[in-house]
Amino acid sequence: MAKSENKTKETKASVEAFLNKVEPEWKKEQAYQLLDLMKELSGSEAKLWGPSLVGFGTYHYKYASGREGYFFRVGFSPRKTALTIYIMPGFDRFDVLMKKLGKYKTGKSCLYIKRLEDIDMDVLKELIVESLKYMREKYPN
């Protein structure tokens, strides 16, 4: 049985070229804010994963099913409907922070924010730091 591969992979494409195409202008500016924030907090350079995900750092995962691959430790994408921030451990362990964050929606590992003004940026920073700490402990490289 063939192993299933992650379709979203790190590319050599320019993160800045991708972000420069983001519209409207306010969303581009907020994407650059997230770029600077995640670069600072992760200590990693931004890489474009697939056509539209900006990721920082990498980790290797292997599921019981045999599926394995590499993915970024934290990232974001300036989607049409929301700024999507990828918190790879999910949100269950971050209940206290999530209650203080502000206005958002979540998916499994996706934090959907309309605008950065809708959330407390200090809480977002803490969420990213705690997420990265968890990822380093679970997936040391």
pLDDT, tens only, 125-134: 999 999 999 9
Domains of the chain are 15-136 (3.90.1150.200)
Amino acid at position 27, single letter: K
pTM of the model: 0.92
As a whole number of angstroms, the distance between CA 50 and CA 45 comes to 16
Whether pLDDT at 121 is above 70 = yes
- pLDDT at 10 > cutoff 90: yes
Q: What does the mean pLDDT of the chain come to?
A: 94
Q: What is the average per-residue pLDDT within 91-109? A: 97
Note the pLDDT of residue 2: 44
55-81 average pLDDT score: 92
Q: pLDDT band for 5, please (50, 70, 90 cuts).
A: low
